[in-house]
Amino acid sequence: MGSDHAVERIVKKEILSCTPDTTVLEAARQMAQKRFSSIIVVEDGRPVGIWTERDALAIDFDRPDSFSRPIAAVMSHPIKTIHHKTSIGDTGLRFQMEGVRHFVVVDDAGHPLGIVSQSDVILRHGVEHFLVLRNVRSGLARPMVAIAGDCSLKRAVAQLNAARTDAAVVLPVDGGEPGIITERDLVRVIGAGGAVPAHVDEIASRPLVCISEDDSMLSARNLLEERQIRHVAVRNAEGKLTGLLSFSDILSSLQYEYVQRLDEALRERDEALLRSRKDLYLARKVIEASLDGIMICTPQGLIEFVNPAFSQLTGYSFEEVFGKNPNILKSGRHDEEFYKRMWATLGHEGVWQGEVWNRRKTGEIYPEWLTINVIRDDEGQISQYAAVFSDITERKKAEERIKNLAYFDVLTGLPNRRLFTDRLHMAIANAHRHDQRLAIMFLDLDLFKRINDTLGHGVGDLVLVESSKRLGQCVREGDTVARLGGDEFVILLPELDHIEDAAKLAERVISQVKAPFVIDEHELYVTTSVGIAVYPDDGQTVEQLIKNADTAMYRAKDLGRNSYQLYTSAMNARSFERLAMESSLRHALSRNEFTLVYQGKVDLVSGRLSGVEALVRWRHPDMGMVSPAEFIPLAENMGLIGDIGAWVLKAACRQCKSWHDLGLPPVRIAVNVSALQFREGDVPAIVEEALLESGLPPHYLELELTESVLMQRVEEVAQVLRELRQMGVHISIDDFGTGYSSLSYLKRMPIDALKIDRSFVHDLLDEGKVADGEGAEIVSTIINLAHNLRLRAVAEGVETQEQAEFLRARGCDEIQGFLVSRPVSGEDLVSLFDRNLLPPEPG
């Protein structure tokens, strides 16, 4: 019996029980009569407590009336239980960890099936092979407790409690033989009723059963079992008492990794057989206890012995296989050459070890780890073959799971970066060998982060799973679709006849991905950008191809997304330039490389300066002034736009306040807020901080937003704008007419002005003159719309007097552009405050 067998196999089905009102005396009498070490207290058919011999130590023997107390008052509760399917080995461990000697064994419903004690585990645990290797001395973990025979019973109990032991040696007062007192003796005293003995010597058990400390633990266990006692005294070589050994001590000494010791015994078996045939009996016992299947065959290869584990693993009994060839277990998975190599190794080295697939009696094929040893007699002739095997089904499953974790993406089930790289290595080698081309396609989902941020990662994961399925439907059987991480995928086309084939596949992929996703009642639209690199034209190594496909993909994004691009060397140069700019941009703020320039706005009625727009510039130490058109999108992609935007806002407020402090005519300063900054930052908090730091009154600050900001999460945006309006800040819509203009949001949002985009103003001119064409109609319509909504109309990009006169005639309120002033520094703008920048409106 091994430690993996369930405790239900060794449980004592007979349970000694009583009701809660049973007296301690009556409970002890029943235990003494039946020689039970515990009694279960049952109420309404369910166990509510337990009273054991250990609990007898808590009784006050100076007060016999305590014997009349109901058992419910002294019982232990709640009851320590153990499930009937718990292994015997784990049961032994729980005895040690919880410091108890009894468990009530319960079924799935919690009903008691019986009792299991420490002694049951020791006697029926199947560990003789281990106990025989340990001597009694190794099990003495505590010093021996000795009590004088004339000691009162109460003092004796106190000594047992103080030493936390269940037994003690009783030393006679007249020089006679020593005895022993145990918890069971105390139960017997309680159960007998009547007067309590005056001295402990009166109840001590004699003679004291002894064993030598050099004897094996197995001998001690057998002695305890034969005498039906639970303690044996230990003497040293000089005959002196050195301790008491109990079942608890034996259990504590057990090492529950004894299976490993068993394996050591098995490996040593061959040497034992060579030394003496007399050890065969011991070897047989070890084999029978093994958890591994063991089969011994004759020199002719016929089975002459199998152990119980063999029958458990294969389903064949000893009678069914005795005298037969082991090939009855063959699965058919190994050819004859496999077995020839096995026998050749056995003949040459005397041992063979490896993985084998065999067949159970049921027909099920399973993997096993098999070791075959050649056993020779004293003359060197083969006397037997010994095979030891273990079922490694679970290990194989674990290896497969580990392999999947190592090589496949957990979310989508697609190959991951490692497996894709391995396949690309092999594809490159094959293409080189056969002078072929291959292609890889690098792609990611456009604006996927918006789905995660808006609807959560759960919906985002479902989009990734559905995208992986769609990609798989686009490719051929020999192609590979892999997920590198996040929303990045890559496709390997290992055999490419024409570059056009890769382009066609890219078109199919783009078409499949952009079809609507319906997830959790959300209809989502996703697009993808694809970059293509071809071997050997665009790279001859894994790293070059992946890098160049990635570069091509970013080029597709730069050109508007939802498209594909083939790699060119120019892209590579652009990629290096982008990397250099990213590195510099990351430190530009801390190095004070940003500066502001200012462009004035002019009131078309008075012709004087009415406002100023702050524009950020990056003064790069090597590249000089970098246009916002280049670094603002880069800052948004890098997550830096929030910090840069906050700096611009604070610097602009400080500059405007400094103009006011100089006594100049007060003007309102306008600051652009990007869509990403508005969506991801707390704009009201940032604005409030900038106003407090600078001291600028809120009504002198104007925030310019694009239409795209207003169209996203309309209710949330409206609430933010209302907060800004309550602070006194003005709001204008920049580049009006170029986005998704909608009267509905204009009516719902607290807006102060519409800024007419420069492209419409530019279209006013035809050969240098203002013409009443489509451009003029659009500009006039926007001005009328603004005034109907009680908003100011501001025109950007005004460069000529003719444009200004047209706008003035149509009722435009303010203009901004090179006609008024180019963007200049704060100091240079001072000269514009007191000037008439345009002739005033006649009349």
Helical axes 417-433 vs 542-558, angle rounded to 10°? 110
Cα Rg of the chain, angstroms: 46
pLDDT tens digit sequence for 651-692 = 999 999 999 999 999 999 999 998 878 877 789 999 999 999
3-state SS, residue 592: coil
Question: Of the candidates 93, 101, 136, 88, which has an alpha carbon nearest to the alpha carbon of residue 255?
Answer: 93
Q: What is the mean pLDDT of residues 47-64?
A: 85
pLDDT tens digit sequence for 716-748 = 888 889 999 999 999 998 878 665 555 666 777
Name which of 429-433, 564-568, 809-813 the model is least confident about. 564-568
pLDDT band at 442 (very low <50, low <70, confident <90, very high): very high
Residues 96, 186 contacting (CB under 8 angstroms): no
Residue 207, preceding peptide bond in cis (omega within 30° of 0): yes
Name which of 368-377, 419-428, 509-518, 760-769 the model is least confident about. 760-769
pLDDT above 70 as % of the chain: 90
Q: What is the mean pLDDT of residues 685-704?
A: 95
273, amino acid identity? L
pLDDT computed for residue 658 by the predictor: 94
pLDDT band at 230 (very low <50, low <70, confident <90, very high): confident
Q: Tokens 């191809």 belong to which residue?
A: 545
**DSSP bridge pairs for 610:** none
- How many angstroms separate the Cα of 261 from the Cα of each of 307, 416, 465? 18, 42, 49
pLDDT computed for residue 739 by the predictor: 56
Main-chain phi, psi angles of 23, to 5 degrees: -75, 160
Long-range contacts of 679-682 (CB under 8 A, 24+ apart): 679/709, 679/712, 679/713, 680/642, 681/642, 681/645, 681/646
pLDDT computed for residue 260 by the predictor: 44
Interatomic CA distance for residues 94 and 81, integer angstroms: 11
pLDDT computed for residue 263 by the predictor: 44
Interatomic CA distance for residues 467 and 448, integer angstroms: 11
Element (H, E) at 769: strand 769-770
pLDDT above 90 as % of the chain: 34
**Would you state the structure tokens that stand for residue 430, as one six-digit string?**
């094959």
Residues 203, 185 contacting (CB under 8 angstroms): yes
Name which of 99-108, 225-234, 270-279, 521-530 the model is least confident about. 270-279
Q: Tokens 């001005």 belong to which residue?
A: 783
pLDDT tens digit sequence for 502-515 = 888 988 999 899 88
Name which of 18-22, 154-158, 440-444 the model is least confident about. 154-158
* Beta carbons within 8 Å of 79's beta carbon, 6+ residues apart: 40, 47, 48, 49, 50, 104
pLDDT band at 235 (very low <50, low <70, confident <90, very high): very high
Q: Tokens 């050649």 belong to which residue?
A: 374
pLDDT computed for residue 122 by the predictor: 65
Interatomic CA distance for residues 776 and 781, integer angstroms: 8
pLDDT band at 1 (very low <50, low <70, confident <90, very high): very low
* Residue 256 predicted with pLDDT over 60: no
pLDDT tens digit sequence for 766-824 = 655 666 677 788 889 889 988 988 999 999 999 989 899 999 999 999 999 999 889 99
pLDDT tens digit sequence for 303-351 = 998 899 999 999 999 999 999 999 999 988 898 899 999 999 998 898 9
pLDDT computed for residue 254 by the predictor: 63
Interatomic CA distance for residues 494 and 427, integer angstroms: 6
**Would you state the structure tokens that stand for residue 507, as one six-digit string?**
């078109």
CA quadruple 415, 419, 421, 422: dihedral, nearest 10: -140
pLDDT tens digit sequence for 456-472 = 888 889 999 999 999 99
Interatomic CA distance for residues 486 and 189, integer angstroms: 76
CA quadruple 23, 26, 27, 32: dihedral, nearest 10: 150
Main-chain phi, psi angles of 718, to 5 degrees: -60, -40
pLDDT band at 57 (very low <50, low <70, confident <90, very high): confident
* Residue 168 predicted with pLDDT over 70: yes
pLDDT computed for residue 257 by the predictor: 40
Q: What is the mean pLDDT of residues 420-446?
A: 92
* Residue 255 predicted with pLDDT over 60: no
Distance between alpha carbon 147 and the CA centroid of its chain, in Å?
Answer: 58
pLDDT computed for residue 681 by the predictor: 78
Q: What is the mean pLDDT of residues 362-384?
A: 90
Residues 782, 758 contacting (CB under 8 angstroms): no
pLDDT computed for residue 545 by the predictor: 93
DSSP assignment letter at 197: P
pLDDT computed for residue 268 by the predictor: 63
What is the DSSP secondary-structure string of 641-658?
HHHHHHHHHHHHHHHHHH
pLDDT computed for residue 470 by the predictor: 93
Q: What is the mean pLDDT of residues 827-840?
A: 81
Q: What is the mean pLDDT of residues 190-218?
A: 88
3-state SS, residue 386: strand
pTM of the model: 0.42
Q: What is the mean pLDDT of residues 696-713?
A: 85
Q: What is the mean pLDDT of residues 625-634?
A: 85
CA quadruple 202, 206, 209, 213: dihedral, nearest 10: 50
Interatomic CA distance for residues 781 and 616, integer angstroms: 31
